[in-house]
A and B are shown apart, each in its own frame.
Chain A
Amino acid sequence: MRNKYRKNIAGWLVMLPSIILFTFFLWEPLIASVIMSFYSAKGIRLEKFVGFQNYSEVIQHPDFKAAFSNTFAYTFWSIVIGFLVPIILAIIINEIIHFKGFFRLSIYLPNVIPGLAVAIMWLYIYKAGKTGLLNIILGNLGIAPQAWLTKSHLVIPLIVLFMTWRSAGATTLIYLAGLQGIDPELYEAASIDGAGLWARLRYITLPQIYNLARTLLILQIIFVFQVLYEPLVLTNGGPNNASTTLMLLVYKYAFEKFDYPKATSISVMIALILMMLTTLYNKIIKENEM
């Protein structure tokens, strides 16, 4: 028995730093915030156990309904607008012969700029009046200047467009790696059998990256579900809550009202929703595969 531990000690030593880091920076705060969501508190000092009171007050708050449905709207639009973009980009770049490195680099560049800086940059793009970049461009086509971010039906797709521009590059690189892992012999064999471009795409490329796409879809949903700084900077959740999100509520509870227990209770709800969505999704996929 002792011998066994001694044999594994090197392994434990290698793992130790990450175990410590995980415990302190992930698991402990995670559990602490779940506990906090059931307490009342002054600042972060817990006062007394209140059961589900934080949850019920948060749900009854007038902004919750809008934030809840908007968060799903963001996710929906991000799939409509953003899911296929990296796949298409990856396939195109994979087929390009010249300047491949250049294109690979340029699509990744938006990721390198700090998030807030990009958001402020897009604020200038969407800016109302004659000085907004989008308005200047459309003005050349004879379209009158619009106050883009005040259109309550358009505001979420516009923000999702910005998010796609910002994060599609990273996903594209993952797809590219996947595409390059496809055995070229498959394509050769298909060509010999007389398969055209579309057939090769349909029967080789897409099935080969199917698993990858499935994982990335879940990751995208998890990522977009926590959308925070984009609406925070661009619209502050407006107009009239048209772009507010659950995470924005968390932010406002925590940093505007100093009501940490309510902030944590929304976070717990977000985590639960995501867990349910992921389980459901995996189940559907499994059933389809069988």
Chain B
Amino acid sequence: MRKILNVILVFSLLIFLCGNTGLAQKRIILKLGIWPEPTLKSDVLMFEKWKKEFEKKYPNVQIIPATYKYSPDTFIPLAESGNLPTIFETWFTEPQKLIAGKFVKDITNELKKKGWDKLMNPSVKQILSKDGRIYGVPRDAYALGMYVNLELFEKAGLMNPDGTPKYPKTWDELAKTAKIIKDKTGSAGFCLLAKDNAGGWHFTQIAWNFGAKLQLQKNNKWYANLNSPEVISALNFVRDLKWKYNVLTDDPTSEDWGSGFEAIATGRAAMYLGAQDAVNQPTQVYGMSLDKLAIVPVPAGPKGHQYSLMGGTPYMFSAKATSEEITSALNFLEIMGKAPVVTSDSLAGMKADAENRVKNGVPVIPSFPAWIAEDWLKAQENIVKQYRNVDMRLYNDYYNWIKKPNVLKSEEPYLTQDMYAELTKVLQAVVSDKNVDIKKLLDTANNNFQKLLDMYVNKK
């Protein structure tokens, strides 16, 4: 009995070894964390198609769907246990943190081989790089504009005869427009965020347009500049929105990025800061009809400053991935049409994406140029034109504005999330208490943030 068992064991071991060496003949396994969730049925179908095409073209690569929706509380366990998919999508706030933690792979060499390093939009590349090495590729980038609910504008009599909204061009006008909307419709004129760091993020956009510079560099040291007169006037403006005009939603401290889009979609608020890359939020997610939505430029400040805060949503790669796996992942992006190359595959990918948007009631509007390859941009423009499902006059002002020089502005460089946290606390105090001392609040925030800068940035 024992003998038989031994023979079986040896045999199975042999078979296992043979099988293994057979497989080891360059069978690359590509785990796609960017695979859509099973509930997004039409997206899954799209990916299935791409997968088939990919496997036809690269028969030595096996694609394994490994859907991963990035979330900070699941990321570390996944990464530390070595189960991170080869490629995954993360948030625009995360790259520097992930690079510092050595969770993601340096892909500079692979990008150089493909020549993509030179085609990346420089400001996007900066977000994804550290010490001259690149760690990700952009899915797309964003530039903040202002979402407008046209139904409320109509009810408040704020439409031009040609069907475009009379949207506010300055923050001062915004307060007045918001007041008219509130008086005539009962809905909030503007949705301000103050629940989490997104509050500080949006407030940075407002403060910039009031002329503020939030971080300054002097003699190789970084200084917090959160209590400058410009920030004070921006914050005074926010206070007026709440306590003088009363045009904000009921409780700004309960509003976050997602609830803002819900407010726009359901008519709870008429105006909200948002970027073109989130356009599926009010439409696909909250069911807003396409003819009720417009995106317009962010209002200008009292001295004419009118920036648009920009950033990018990146694809990043598991630190454990091999060079071949990275290259395969980049090849897959090509088939999806997310890479800066124009081939029949990538064109088909872009078309599939546009078709999918039309099917799901998401506006087909130009994406923000994350790549600067001329032919790719042209191809994308053509496809957007072909599948257009919205009146572009509702978006043109925004797109023309962000093409102007000196409009796009990257986020402040250091400890950005900590700075947003400080600003969010200040916003919370302002919208929850009419009589707060704004100067004192900002002094505290400034001291707090300076302390962090000294602790983590200036000591190096």
Residues of A participating in the B interface, judged by any CB pair closer than 8 Å = 42-45, 57, 60-63, 123, 127-131, 145, 147, 149-152, 235-236, 238-241, 254-258, 260
Are A239 and B253 interface neighbours, CB within 8 A? Answer: yes
Contact status A43-B250, CB under 8 Å = no
B195 and A236 within 8 A (CB): yes
Give, as a whole number of angstroms, the nearest-CB distance from B433 to chain A: 7
The answer to whether the Cβ of B431 comes within 8 Å of any Cβ in the partner chain is: yes
- Can you report 17 A-B residue pairs in the complex whose CB atoms are below 8 A from each other? A42-B101, A44-B80, A60-B451, A61-B452, A62-B448, A128-B254, A129-B249, A129-B250, A151-B432, A239-B425, A239-B432, A240-B426, A240-B432, A241-B425, A255-B72, A256-B72, A258-B75
Minimum CB–CB distance for B149 against chain A, Å: 18
A256-B417 in contact given A235-B253, A241-B425 (Cβ < 8 Å): yes
Task: Specify which of B76, B250, B424 is in contact with A147 (CB 8 Å cutoff).
Answer: B250
Would you call B422 an interface residue if the criterion is a C-beta within 8 Å of the partner chain's C-beta atoms? yes
**Bound: A62/B443 CA distance, A:** 13
In the complex, B162 has a CB within 8 A of chain A = no
Point out the residues of chain B lying under 8 angstroms from A130, CB to CB.
Answer: 250
- Prevailing SS type, chain B contact patch: helix
Q: Are A43 and B103 in contact (CB under 8 A)?
A: yes
Contact present for B254 and A149 (CB under 8 Å) = yes
Chain A residues within 8 Å of B451, by CB:
60, 62
State the 6 A-B residue pairs at the shortest beta-carbon distance, nearest first.
A129-B250, A128-B251, A150-B432, A62-B448, A239-B428, A240-B429
Q: Which residues of B contact A43 (CB under 8 A)?
A: 76, 79-80, 101-103
B194 at the interface (CB under 8 A from A): yes
* B358-387 interface (Cβ within 8 A of A): none
Q: Tell me if B73 is interfacial: C-beta within 8 Å of chain A.
A: yes
CA distance A239 to B196 in the complex (A): 10
> Is B455 a contact of A57 with CB atoms below 8 Å?
yes
Bound Cα distance from A44 to B253, whole angstroms: 33
The answer, yes or no, to whether B97 is at the interface (CB within 8 Å) is: yes
B130 smallest CB distance to A (angstroms): 14
Q: Is the CB of A42 within 8 A of B102?
A: yes
Residues from chain A with a CB closer than 8 A to the CB of B102 are: 42-43
Residues from chain B with a CB closer than 8 A to the CB of A62 are 422, 444, 447-448, 451-452
> Cβ of A238 and Cβ of B195 under 8 Å apart?
yes
The residues in B between 401 and 430 inclusive whose CB is less than 8 angstroms from any CB of A are 417, 421-422, 424-426, 428-429
Give the residues in chain A near B72, CB-CB below 8 Å.
255-256, 258
CA distance A149 to B194 in the complex (A): 13
Q: How far is the CA of A253 from the CA of B100 in the complex (A)?
A: 15
Which chain A residues border B73 with CB–CB below 8 Å?
254-255
B437-460 near A? 1/0 per residue, CB < 8 Å: 000010010011001100100000
15 further A-B contacts with Cβ under 8 Å, apart from A43-B102, A236-B195, A240-B432, are A44-B80, A60-B455, A63-B421, A128-B251, A130-B250, A150-B431, A236-B196, A238-B253, A238-B424, A239-B425, A239-B432, A240-B428, A241-B425, A256-B417, A257-B97
Partner of B432, one of A44, A147, A257: A147
B185, chain A: closest CB distance, angstroms = 15
Residues of chain B in range 152-205 having any CB-CB distance to chain A below 8 Å: 194-196
Complex Cα gap A260–B77 (Å): 12
Instruction: Please report which residues of chain B, range 39-88, place their CB below 8 angstroms from some CB of chain A when the two chains form the complex.
Output: 72-73, 75-76, 79-80
| Contact B251–A258 (Cβ < 8 Å) | no
Across the two chains, which residue of chain A brings its CB closest to B445? A62
Interfacial chain A residues near B75, Cβ < 8 Å: 258
In the complex, which of the residues B101, B194, B421 has the most CB atoms of chain A within 10 Å of its own CB atom?
B101
CB pair A150 B428 closer than 8 Å: yes
Inter-chain residue pair count (beta carbon < 8 A): 88
- Would you call A258 and B97 a contact (CB within 8 A)? yes
- Most chain-B CB neighbours within 10 Å: which of A63, A147, A254, A258? A258
Q: Do the beta carbons of B455 and A239 come within 8 Å of each other? A: no
For B449, the closest partner residue in chain A by CB is A62
Q: Contacts of B448 on A, CB cut-off 8 Å?
A: 62
Q: Which partner residue on chain A sits nearest B418 by CB separation? A: A257
Partner of B76, one of A57, A131, A241, A258: A258
Restricting to B323-376, which residues have a CB under 8 Å from any CB of A?
A: none
Residue of B nearest to A132 (CB): B250
Supposing A42-B101, A240-B426, A258-B76 touch, asked if A152 and B432 sit within 8 A by C-beta, the answer is: yes
Interchain CB contact under 8 A, B80 and A149: no
Residues of B within 8 A of A128 (CB): 250-251, 254
Kindly identify, within residues 241 to 258 of chain B, every residue whose CB is under 8 Å from any CB belonging to chain A: 249-251, 253-254
Chain A residue numbers with a CB within 8 Å of B431 are 150, 239
Q: Among the listed B101, B194, B422, B444, which residue makes an inter-chain contact with A258, where contact means beta carbons less than 8 Å apart? A: B101
Q: CA of A258 to CA of B73 in the docked complex: distance in angstroms?
A: 9
User: Who on chain B is nearest to A151 by CB?
Assistant: B432
Instruction: Give A245 Cβ to nearest chain B Cβ, in Å.
Output: 15
A236 CB, min distance to chain B CBs, angstroms = 5
Decide: A149 and B76 in contact? CB cutoff 8 A. Answer: no
Q: Considering only CB atoms, which chain B residue lies closest to A130 in the complex? A: B250
Chain B residues lying within 8 Å of A63, measured Cβ to Cβ, are 421
Contact of A240 with B425 in the complex, beta carbons under 8 Å = yes
Distance in Å: Cβ of A148 to nearest Cβ of chain B: 9
> How distant is the Cα of A191 from the Cα of B65 in the complex, in angstroms?
75
**Nearest CB of chain B from residue A248's CB, rounded to whole Å:** 12
Is the Cβ of A150 less than 8 Å from the Cβ of B97?
A: no
Quote the shortest CB–CB distance from B316 to chain A (angstroms): 14
Nearest chain B residue, comparing its CB with the CB of A57 = B455
* Residues of B with C-beta under 8 A to A57: 455
How many angstroms from the CA of A235 to the CA of B451 in the assembled complex? Answer: 25
A152 touches B425 (CB 8 A): no
Chain B proximity of A134: nearest CB distance (Å): 13
User: What CA separation (Å) do A238 and B422 show in the bound complex?
Assistant: 11
Chain B nearest CB from A123 CB (Å) reads 8
- Per the bound structure, the CA–CA distance linking A235 and B447 in Å amounts to 24
Identify the interface centre among B75, B101, B254, B444: most chain A CB within 10 Å of its CB: B254
Are A149 and B422 also in contact (CB < 8 A) when A60-B455, A238-B194, A239-B429 are? no
Which residue of B is nearest A238, CB measured? Answer: B428
CB distance from B147 to the nearest CB of A (A): 21
Complex alpha-carbon distance, A129 and B254, angstroms: 12
Contacts of A61 in B (CB 8 A): 452
Nearest CB of chain B from residue A83's CB, rounded to whole Å:
29
* B253: contacting residue among A131, A145, A149, A260, CB under 8 A: A149
* Nearest chain B CB to A266 CB, angstrom units: 16
